[in-house]
Structure 1
Amino acid sequence: MKNHKAKNWWKDFKKEPNLNWNFSIIWLVVISCVAFLWYLGSIGLVDKTEPMFVEAARQMTVTGDWITPYWNGETRFDKPPLVYWLMAIAFKIIGVNEWAARLPSALFAIALTALGFYTLRYFGFPRPATAVEEQIGHPIQRERQLWISAWIGAAIIALNPAWIAWGRTGVSDMLLASTIGMALLTFFIGYAEKEGKSQKAKVKRDNYFFSLPEGWYIGFYVFIALAILAKGPVGAVLPALIIGAFLLYVGKFREVLQEMRLVQGVLITSAIAIPWFVLVTLANGKAYIDTFFGYHNLQRFTSVVSSHRGPWYFYIPVVLVSLAPWSIYLPIAIGHLRFWQRDKWKKSPRSTHLGLFALFWFICVFGFFSISVTKLPSYVLPLMPAGAIMVTLFWSDQMRGTPPPAPPRPTGRGEWRGEWEGSGKNTGLFISAIFNILFLIILAAGTFLSPKLMGYDPAMPQVRQILQQSGLPILSGIVWGTAAIASIFLLWRQSRWLWSANLAGFMAFMIFVAPPAALLIDEQRQLPLRQLSALVTQVEKPGEELIAIGFIRPSVVFYTQRTVNYIKTFEEAFTYIKETAVTVPNPPTVLILSNPKALDLIILKRHQYQELGSAGAFKLLRVSKRAARR
């Protein structure tokens, strides 16, 4: 009876095919706004990486130099220019503010989500068996399967901690992850749509080098170029590893490289990506080559940079947390692919390979950065869409409502089902669901008790009391507690809908809890520096130097729109001031921005400096250079 109703429902949708697309557009808009645009510019820049990127972009609009990035009066060769260019363009159009600074990351996160939806809509088969069965006898069920894959997949791709965090931050990580993701998805669409064409139309030798790659493959090469401009050679290395390993596994390496027009593709990528590297090298010479290629690429991979070391298993907990709660189902989703049955995959249609492709995508990124000596959580951001796709394919298969798997039969469609489905599927789902429920309970309890669990932060001395008074811990506990109760009920009655409890909890948290919590922390941690930065712009005298003592907060550079001299201790600062009193006597004073820890060590008497203002844990002083010399 249920299957009959489902078929009639989908027949009604087929009569009005635009209904599905209209709903899908609304769905994508809603999850994109919740995940990436809701309160996007409501908090200030978060120290310490984000303001460096944003200020370098602002400098481009000031100096007009779109080749060499600068920050705080020095060249900044950490990353290529794509993120700076896009931010600078946003500043020109919208104005210099936090919303414009984060908009490129948000738009790229949304673009990857939309392309992930499109890919799953046409190729979202959980495994080859599904496609073969439904193409033979169940066209309505096949369409329903694909739409469900797309709807669930878009939500999982967008609504996970990693994609939300970096999609709302003005740095280059989301641009790299999204461009790599879009390059891989456009490759896969081109690969899947090319089924059989290479056998029907062989390319002649005399025109091979004069024919361009077909549409989706051109998109692949363009996105590779953008990935290189986002973060350097890794933007080409990772896709090459992923695609190469995948093609070797399915036995289509030479065939697909031919149809991709690799030589022409490399020329397209080079034409887009290489010119800036040439221009910046001509402008800065060896300094750029040594800093970017030597330090920020080769040295980061082969040695520890900035104390960012980690054990070989560093990224296991990172992935589990970054993709939570969906990561709980990653083991069963990977096992559900039956990737070890290589012969079956080699014989199956290309259009059914999305899950296997996502697995190679996930493993190659994870393995590459696990080998790297320097480790940061953001490095594995490019694998998050792959993990989301595999989990999506698992859940879309559960949504089919198929009966428990039967033993393999020698002929007919049951042969595919028996070969591809394992008898332990329901047990694996039950165990994963139990872990999911435990995670939600722990999350509810942890957020409810968060004011008591937080450590003391001298930069936010009142945050625990204010957080408790806000009622947000209680609200968060209710949200995740309700999600846990809903999961228990669904496990008991309708286990295939378990994913919906996670989704509803995530949506509610992002709408009602996360924005006010971020505002509260921003008011305690970042707002005082913005207030004092605004005061600096009001009271500074011509040529007066600004010295920050005891801390490094790059946001001060952006909000004062001037260079800041960061010095570790007051002793070092006053040694420096004594020297400048001789070498640069005018102006006769300097501005000092400091925190309480550094102020405790101040060596001047009260009458020898002027306190211009204070905010939070910081003070702004004006000090005479003559007083420092005594």
Structure 2
Amino acid sequence: MRMKLSVKHTVDQWFNKIAKNPALGVTVSVLWLIVIGWIAFGWNLGNIGLIDETEPLFAEASRQMFVTGDWITPFFNGDTRFDKPALIYWCQAIAYAIIGVNEWAVRLPSAIAAFGLVCLAFYTIQWYLAKEDELEQVSRPTRRYLTSFIAAALMALNGETIIWARIGVSDMLLTGCIASALLCFFLGYAGKEGSREQGAGSREQGENSNSSPLPPALRPSASSTPFPNKWYLACYVLIAGAILTKGPVGIVLPGLIIFAFLLYVGRFREVLREMRLFMGILIILGLSVPWYALVIWRNGWNYINAFFGYHNLERFTEVVNGHSAPWYFYFLVVLLGFAPYSVYLPASIIRLKFWQRSHWRSLERFQQFGLFAWFWFASIFGFFSIAVTKLPSYVLPLMPAAAILVALLWNDLFPDTETQQKTPVSPTPSISSSFLRISGWLNVVFLSVLATALFNITQILGTDPAISNFHELIQKSGLPVIAGLMWLVCAILVAAFLLTRRWNYIISINLIGFVAFLIFVLTPASFFIDRERQLPLRELSAVILEAKEPNEELIMLGFKKPSVVFYSHIHVNYLRFPKEAIEHIQNQAAKGLQPPSLLLLAEQKKFLQMELQPDDYKSLSTKGAYNLVRVPFKKKKSEKIDIS
């Protein structure tokens, strides 16, 4: 016990020293953010090839923009691609211009969006806890820094965020825009400390008071200005970015969260006035509408029907591309995607007692931060649970809120030794030790189940047509055993800390376990899968570039792998069935095309189904499960191709 107090006293002294030296505090914070950001988003970001099937679609459409200079209409493989708006393509094309056309450039926008969000969340939580200490007239630098460090780590180091921050698609950019917009809204909202009961005049006086928590540069110059304060302005700009990333959902989600929150706390009209909503709408429309106007002007109803009809309305009201799931789907996504910290979400939510509306309405604005995070989490979860089409990436924007909720739960467990004798005036009751103990044992059970599942992963995973001996290779790698042992050790340590009532260390064990899992299991596994699944296609793309004759057609039979289009830089004709390929070859032969041949890329089983004779083709390369051959156009006297 004496050693425990000594260590804690040393930690408190260290954080007190940081708090008294702002430059040191900034340095330590920046270093922490860089370390977790590099581990989560930067390390080996571009050292793995593009992942079929979605990522190469974005990468190639962006490359086409970069090559052709057409920054309005996205194209893939010669066809328009209206799935997503232009912002992600612009970001990737700019990255191409800076660092070249490669995997790093494809994924850099996603990684930057994730890292920027984590940094803004870190600042917001630091600001909130500093205001709480100011209100309670205490100094708790240890609690403030530890909570902020944990919140940033939870936000970065979870499976859902890491997956989408390391893939060059639009989901992480959308999440970065929406989540950052919500944080900016709260900073603007919490910076207005005037009370409703004081009336408009008192609010204006509060806005211009020197006691405002916002820096002078971020305060509005006058209460009568038609422009919103700079945090609200940033919120509007980020919402416009979300609209340019994924369409109407970019304004629907933050609008739903903000309006529901304001209605609940009874500040709807008051805050909408101070936000200068009309001006904000003009800013959003002014930034987002021009590209939509240009793409519609150029493509007309084709774009309107494809994007607004199919990719927005139908995805919400109907099952699109077979992406249906049961009502409890997102419970599983959050449980596994935010693992292993997701087991603490129930305790984090119950801790708030969000149903006590009169209590929350009586608090200062900044004290409503936890309630705001709850509305953020619940609104997105509910919205996409109602939607008919379901995908794991849809609830990615709620992961930052989940991290904030769990970090605030642990905030109650980080008192400073200097203030332990004082009774804090917490805006929300602390979670009871019994409920926390239940969550802790759920943590132990979850980690144990996870370890057991990883030990037996080959019996759980399905087969991959591109890797015939997938299960055998995974087992030989030893990764399932390493992963299972890691989480089993974590389960034992969490149980030990629960028994000794050392609550503070539990979340650290989960974080350390996840980092070890990422470094020693997930990263080697991603290299293994890339080598077995994607490398053969990249190697064949290089062969195609070298062997292809001018105007020679490339057919991909039986599968769609857009990465071949990106790496070979040529048009690919996708055909599904062997009979369809034979008929196509006959038709091309009858046209007398030059050169009198085409390239055929097929899985070995599909290639065998074509029953080509040895003199009907020339084998160029075989990689993994794929064959690349050249099929010459041979004609009989009847002018029909002879491939029998």
The alignment's TM-score, normalised by the length of structure 1, stands at 0.92
**Tell me, which stretches of 5 or more residues in structure 2 are unaligned?**
208-221
Deviation for aligned residue 1:453: 4.4
Deviation for aligned residue 1:266: 1.0
1:4-83 superposed matches below 5 A: 8-83=13-88
Residue pair 2:204, 2:223 contacting (<8 A) in 1 also: no
Residue pair 2:41, 2:166 contacting (<8 A) in 1 also: yes
Deviation for aligned residue 1:607: 1.3
Q: Corresponding residue for 1:89? A: 94
Deviation per residue, 1:203-253 (Å, 9 max, x gap): 9xxx99962111101100010010001000110011110000000000000
Residue pair 1:102, 1:170 contacting (<8 A) in 2 also: yes
**How far apart, CA to CA, are the structure 2 residues paired with 1:584 and 1:76?**
32
Pairing partner for 1:475 from 453, 457, 482 = 482
Residue pair 1:78, 1:292 contacting (<8 A) in 2 also: yes
**How far apart, CA to CA, are the structure 2 residues paired with 1:238 and 1:209?**
29
**How far apart, CA to CA, are the structure 2 residues paired with 1:562 and 1:451?**
37
Q: Name the SS for the 2:628 alignment partner.
A: strand
C-alpha spacing 1:574/1:120, structure 2 compared with 1 (3 Å): same
Q: Name the SS for the 1:526 alignment partner.
A: helix
Bigger shift: residues 234-243 or 319-328: 319-328
Q: Corresponding residue for 1:570? A: 578
Deviation per residue, 1:393-427 (Å, 9 max, x gap): 0011122389xxxxxxxxx978x66x9437x7212
Q: Corresponding residue for 2:392? A: 377
Q: Is residue 524 of structure 1 aligned with residue 524 of structure 2?
A: no
Deviation per residue, 1:426-484 (Å, 9 max, x gap): 12111111121122222223323334544432311233333333333333233222222
**How far apart, CA to CA, are the structure 2 residues paired with 1:445 and 1:211?**
60
Q: Corresponding residue for 1:248? A: 263
Q: Is residue 180 of structure 1 aligned with residue 190 of structure 2?
A: no
Q: Is residue 109 of structure 1 aligned with residue 127 of structure 2?
A: no
Q: Is residue 426 of structure 1 aligned with residue 429 of structure 2?
A: no
- Aligned pairs, number: 609
Pairing partner for 1:191 from 189, 192, 209 = 189
Pairing partner for 1:336 from 351, 370, 376 = 351
Q: Corresponding residue for 2:541? A: 533
Pairing partner for 2:148 from 150, 165, 170 = 150
**How far apart, CA to CA, are the structure 2 residues paired with 1:5 and 1:519?**
42
Pairing partner for 1:441 from 448, 451, 456 = 448
The residue type paired with residue 288 of structure 2 is: A
Residue pair 1:302, 1:372 contacting (<8 A) in 2 also: yes
Q: Name the SS for the 1:511 alignment partner.
A: helix
The residue type paired with residue 556 of structure 1 is: V
**How far apart, CA to CA, are the structure 1 residues paired with 2:523 and 2:40?**
11
Residue pair 1:123, 1:146 contacting (<8 A) in 2 also: no
Q: Is residue 168 of structure 1 aligned with residue 183 of structure 2?
A: no
Residue pair 1:67, 1:276 contacting (<8 A) in 2 also: yes
Q: Corresponding residue for 1:201? A: 204
Deviation per residue, 1:247-293 (Å, 9 max, x gap): 00000001100110111111111111111001111111111111111
Deviation per residue, 1:51-101 (Å, 9 max, x gap): 000000000111110000000100000000011000001111101111110
C-alpha spacing 1:298/1:396, structure 2 compared with 1 (3 Å): same
**How far apart, CA to CA, are the structure 2 residues paired with 1:78 and 1:241?**
23
C-alpha spacing 1:6/1:604, structure 2 compared with 1 (3 Å): closer
The residue type paired with residue 15 of structure 1 is: K
Deviation for aligned residue 1:496: 2.6
Bigger shift: residues 364-373 or 230-239: 364-373
Residue pair 2:582, 2:610 contacting (<8 A) in 1 also: no
Q: Corresponding residue for 1:459? A: 466
Identity %: 48
Deviation for aligned residue 1:5: 6.3
Residue pair 1:399, 1:497 contacting (<8 A) in 2 also: no
Bigger shift: residues 458-467 or 6-15: 6-15
**How far apart, CA to CA, are the structure 2 residues paired with 1:507 and 1:267?**
44
Q: Corresponding residue for 1:406? A: none
Q: Corresponding residue for 1:502? A: 510
Q: Corresponding residue for 2:564? A: 556
**How far apart, CA to CA, are the structure 1 residues paired with 2:450 and 2:326?**
26
C-alpha spacing 1:413/1:495, structure 2 compared with 1 (3 Å): closer
Q: Name the SS for the 2:412 alignment partner.
A: helix
Aligned-residue Cα RMSD (Å) equals 2.3
Deviation for aligned residue 1:586: 2.2
**How far apart, CA to CA, are the structure 1 residues paired with 2:151 and 2:89?**
30
1:210-609 superposed matches below 5 A: 211-400=226-415, 420-421=428-429, 425-451=432-458, 453-493=460-500, 494-583=502-591, 585-609=593-617
**Tell me, which stretches of 5 or more residues in structure 1 are unaligned?**
403-411
C-alpha spacing 1:524/1:211, structure 2 compared with 1 (3 Å): same
**How far apart, CA to CA, are the structure 1 residues paired with 2:565 and 2:454?**
34
Deviation per residue, 1:584-630 (Å, 9 max, x gap): 52221110000022123113212111111100010001112336723
Q: Corresponding residue for 2:641? A: 629
Deviation for aligned residue 1:580: 2.1
Deviation per residue, 1:316-363 (Å, 9 max, x gap): 111111111111111110000010111110010111111100111111
**How far apart, CA to CA, are the structure 1 residues paired with 2:428 and 2:19?**
30
Deviation per residue, 1:484-512 (Å, 9 max, x gap): 22212221220232100010011112222
Q: Corresponding residue for 1:139? A: 138
**How far apart, CA to CA, are the structure 1 residues paired with 2:223 and 2:137?**
41
Residue pair 1:56, 1:71 contacting (<8 A) in 2 also: yes
**How far apart, CA to CA, are the structure 1 residues paired with 2:429 and 2:124?**
24
The residue type paired with residue 566 of structure 2 is: F
**How far apart, CA to CA, are the structure 1 residues paired with 2:557 and 2:571?**
14
Deviation for aligned residue 1:10: 4.4
Residue pair 2:16, 2:142 contacting (<8 A) in 1 also: no
Deviation for aligned residue 1:136: 5.5
**How far apart, CA to CA, are the structure 2 residues paired with 1:124 and 1:369?**
31
Residue pair 1:460, 1:617 contacting (<8 A) in 2 also: yes
